[in-house]
């Protein structure tokens, strides 16, 4: 049984907290739902989570780092930012199936950021589904700080690729750079506006 996510009032104790208050968001769950409904898309600086509110979009990294930073400013020390590796497929990530089929891959390893509260994962990236559902089975996960969503997260992700290629028997078919390029195609597809 999942733990109910903590609720707290936002007080003007830091830059991120004040920015949420400027948007009329005065409670944590209200702020988290607001962030969740923002469109998926990379920010102009993918390591600057403060751009989520001003640019009106974000990725799993920037959205969750922003919320983690808010929690830190509000001294909510039981909520932590994590990144984990899962196998991204066409079924758990709609919009990338055609890319994976093109390269004859059933899946590709992806690093995903989320919050953890009492060991439950909370995902405020996707608009559909409940925030605490976790359709992904993580192969590896580590706690990180909001400042680690840039180069550190990329290094952690890329370091996992050789292990994944070896386990899948794909070292003769792909190298790290080729796999990373396919992953970037997938992310670009997720960021593209839906076809009308």
Which domains can be identified in the chain, with CATH numbers?
Answer: 15-191 (3.10.620)
Q: Indicate if the pLDDT at residue 22 is higher than 60.
A: yes
How does pLDDT run across 46-85, given as a tens digit for each residue?
A: 999 999 999 999 999 999 999 999 999 999 999 999 999 9
Contacts of 187 by beta carbon, 8 Å cutoff, 6+ apart = 42
pTM here is: 0.88
- Among candidate residues 156, 77, 183, 83, the one with its CA nearest the CA of residue 123: 83
Only one residue has tokens 């209200």, namely 30
Calculate mean pLDDT across residues 177-189.
Answer: 94
Q: Indicate if the pLDDT at residue 165 is higher than 60.
A: yes
Calculate mean pLDDT across residues 168-175.
Answer: 93
Cα–Cα distance for residue pair 155/143, rounded to 1 Å: 14
Q: How far is C-alpha 112 from the chain's CA centre?
A: 4
For residue 20, name the pLDDT band (cuts at 50, 70, 90): very high
Calculate mean pLDDT across residues 124-145.
Answer: 72
In DSSP terms, which residues pair with 144 in a beta bridge?
A: 81
Q: Indicate if the pLDDT at residue 188 is higher than 50.
A: yes
């Amino acid at each position: 049984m999942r733990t109910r996510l903590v609720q707290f009032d936002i007080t003007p104790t830091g830059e991120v907290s004040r920015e949420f208050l400027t948007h009329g968001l005065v409670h944590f769950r209200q702020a988290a739902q607001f962030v969740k409904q923002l469109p998926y898309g990379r920010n102009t600086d993918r390591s600057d989570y403060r751009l989520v509110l001003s640019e009106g979009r974000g990725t799993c990294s920037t959205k969750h780092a922003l919320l983690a930073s808010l929690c830190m400013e509000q001294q909510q020390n039981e909520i932590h930012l994590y990144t984990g590796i899962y196998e991204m497929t066409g079924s758990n990530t709609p919009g990338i199936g055609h890319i994976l089929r093109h390269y004859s891959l059933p899946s590709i390893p992806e690093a995903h950021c989320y919050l953890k509260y009492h060991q439950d994962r909370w995902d405020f990236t996707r608009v559909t589904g409940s925030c605490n559902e976790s359709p992904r089975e993580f192969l590896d996960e580590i706690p990180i700080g909001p400042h680690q969503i840039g180069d550190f997260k990329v290094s952690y992700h890329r370091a996992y690729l050789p292990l994944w290629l070896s386990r899948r028997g794909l070292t003769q078919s792909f190298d790290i750079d080729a796999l990373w390029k396919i992953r970037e195609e997938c992310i670009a597809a997720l960021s593209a506006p839906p076809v009308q």
